A and B are shown apart, each in its own frame.
Chain A
Amino acid sequence: MVNLKKSSLLSHHFVLFLTFIFLISCGEKKIFVNKIEGKQIAITNTIPEVSEIDNFIKPYREKINKDMDEVLAYAPETLEKSKGEWQTTIGNLQADITLASANKIFKSRENKSVDVCLLNHGGIRSVISKGNVTTRTAFELMPFENSLVVVALKGEQIIEIVDYIIKEKKPHPLAGLTFMIDKNNVGKNIWINGNPVDVEQIYYVATNDYLYNGGDSMNFFKKGTAVYDLDYKLRNIWIDYFKEVDTIPVIRDERIRKE
C-alpha cells in the first residue's frame, strides 16, 4: 500500500512535469506577423443596404425628417469654410448675422451696442450647399448646443485677439474688427467701428459660451470685465436668419488683410 502510494506520487510528479513541458512548448509556440496589408474602402452607393439596419433606423429618421426638411432659404452658391486664408464667405456670414442678433438683444436688455463678433473656424461643422437651405442645414452647420454670450473686453484684449488669429492662421469668423498683418507677421491698423482700437476702452464682443470658457484656447475671453448670457443658441441664430432671408448673400469683403 505504501509502495503504491509512492508510485502514484511519482506519477503525479511525472504528470506535473509533462504538463509543465507541454505548457512551455505551448508558450514558445509564439506567432509572428510576417505580412500586413492595409487599405481604405470607400462607402459608396454601389454597396447594398442591410434591410434589418435600415428598418431599425426608419422610425427615428421619419420623425427627424418631418422637422428638418422644411425649406427656409435659397443659396445661389456653395458657402464653405475651406476656401479662404483669413476669411471665408461662410465665416463672414456667420459673424455678421451673429453680431446683428447679439446687437438686437443687447440693445434692448442693456442699452449698449455690440462692437465685435468672434467665433471659431472649427465651429462651422458643415457647408451651405448651393440650392435649398433647410432646418437641417442649420443643424449640420451648428450641431452643438452652444449659446450666445457678450463679453466686455478691454482694448488690450482686442490686441490679444489679433495676435491669436495671426498665430493660429485660421479664418475664424470675425465681424466689426478689421486689421492688417504686416511683413513681420504683426497686426497693425486695428480698427473697430471706424476708429483705431484704444487699449483702455471697453468693447463688447459677441461669442459663444464654449469659446468664453476657454475653448480653442481663446483665453483672452477670461480676462473680460463682464459677461452677459443672451440665452440664444447659435443654431437658432442660423434658423431664425434663414427664415428671415430669401437668398443667402455671398459676403467677400476682407476683414483681415495681409500686407
Chain B
Amino acid sequence: MKRRDFIQKTAASSALLAFPSVPLMAFDSPTKVKHLTILHTNDVHSHIDPFPASDAKNPNMGGISRRSALVENIRKENPNVLLLDAGDIFQGTPYFNYYGGELEFKLMSMMKYDLATMGNHDFDNGIDGFYSQLPNANFEFVSANYDFKNTVLNEIVKPYKIFEKDGIKIGVFGLGVQLEGLVDKKNYKETVYNDPVEISQEMTRILKHEKRCDLVICLSHLGYHYKNEPDKISDLNLAKLTKDIDLIIGGHTHTFLDKPTIVKNLEGKDVLVNQVGCYGINLGRIDFYFDSDKNKTNQGRTIIV
C-alpha cells in the first residue's frame, strides 16, 4: 500500500509538472532573456601593481586591486559572470622571481577566476614549478591540445570544463601554443603539442553535440595573428577553419584591439575573437543575451562591438 501511495503522489506531481510545461514554454520564451557576462584577461605577466606614473608606455595603468573592484561591480550588475584568463599569468615582474606565482594564483582565487589556460611562460619555472603552485589556485586550468599524459599535470589540467549559469550551459576548452622552439624542453618535459584545428573539431563535437552546450568558448594562447607567417595557426585562422565555436578569447601576441574581431567560420557563421593586450591594462567584457525563440535567432545574431 505504501508503495502505491508513493506512485500515485509521484504521478500527480509529474502530471502537474508535465502539463503546464507546454503552455509555460510558450509564455516564457519571449519574455525571459538570459544574460551571461564573460570577463577576460590574458598575458598579465605577474603585473600585480599598476604601472607607476613615470612609466614611459603605460603610466598609471593596470593593477589587480582595481581590476578586482571592476569585476566586483560587474558581478553586482549581473551575477552570471565567467571570469577567464588566456594564459601567461607568470613572469614579468619580481613578484614572480621572488614568489614563483604564489601571489598571482592567490589573488586570482580571491577575485574568483573561474578558469584559465596555460601560456608558454607558465612553464618558466618548469612544469614542476607550475604544479607546485597549483594548491594556491581555487580555479582550474584547461588545455585540450597539450597532452600531459607523461607529466605531473596528467588528469589535473583537463581539456575542457562545462559551467552552468542561470540554466545556460557553457563549454570552455583550452588551446596552447607550439612549445618546441619557444620553451626550453627541460621546462615542458614530456608535454606533447597536438594540432589545434583537429583538437578543436573534437572539442566542439563533444561540447556542442554530445554535451549540448548553449555556448562554446575557446580559451586560446595561440596568438591573434602572425603578419609575417599568415598561415601559422592563430586565433583568426582557427576561427575560419572550425565550426561551432562562439567566442575565442586569445593571448600570447599581446594584441591590443579596438574591439573584438568578427570572423566567418567554416559554415559562414560569426565567431567573435578577442584579446585585451597584456599586463592587466584592460579587462575584456563580452555580454551574451539568450532567447528561447529560435525564429528570432535564425535571422542572425545582433553583434554590437
Contacts and interface: CB of A to CB of B under 8 A. Distances in A.
A210 B187 CA distance: 11
B22 to A, nearest CB: 7
Interface in B1-28: 3-4, 7-8, 10-11, 14-15, 17-18, 21-22, 25
Q: Which of under 10, 10 to 19, 20 to 34, or 35 or more describes the interface residues of A?
A: 35 or more
Interface in A6-53: 8, 11-12, 14-15, 18-19, 21-22, 25-27, 29-45, 47-50, 52-53
B152 interface: no
B56 A36 contact: no
A145 to B, nearest CB: 8
A211 B2 CA distance: 77
A15 B14 contact: yes
Interface string B251-291: 00000011110000000000010101000111111111111
Interface stretch (B86-94, B133-141, B155-163, B190-198): B86-94
Contact of B14 (A18, A40, A214): A18
Contacts of B119: none
Contacts of B111: 53
A132 to B, nearest CB: 8
Contacts of A131: 54
B7 A33 contact: no
Given A25-B25, A36-B304, A45-B60, A53 B286 contact: no
B292 A39 contact: no
A48 to B, nearest CB: 5
A144 interface: yes
A29 B98 contact: no
A81 B110 CA distance: 35
- The listed residue with most B CB atoms (<10 A of its CB), out of A15, A61, A68, is A15
Contact of B303 (A4, A11, A36, A127): A36
Interface string A191-229: 000000000000000000110011111000000000000
Contacts of A125: 92
Contacts of B230: none
A189 interface: no
Contact of A25 (B7, B22, B290): B22
Contact of A33 (B3, B14, B184, B288): B288
Nearest to A75: B56
Nearest to A52: B110
Contacts of B288: 33, 35-36
Contacts of A156: none
A25 B70 CA distance: 39
Interface of B: 3-4, 7-8, 10-11, 14-15, 17-18, 21-22, 25, 29, 34, 45-46, 48-50, 54-57, 60-70, 72, 91-99, 103, 106-107, 110-111, 124, 167-168, 180-186, 212, 214-215, 228, 246, 257-260, 272, 274, 276, 280-294, 296-297, 301-305
The 9 tightest CB contacts between A and B, nearest first, are: A32-B297, A49-B65, A38-B260, A129-B56, A35-B289, A47-B66, A31-B290, A53-B65, A37-B287
16 contacts: A19-B14, A19-B18, A32-B292, A35-B287, A37-B289, A39-B259, A42-B281, A48-B69, A50-B69, A53-B65, A60-B95, A78-B56, A144-B91, A210-B184, A213-B185, A215-B184
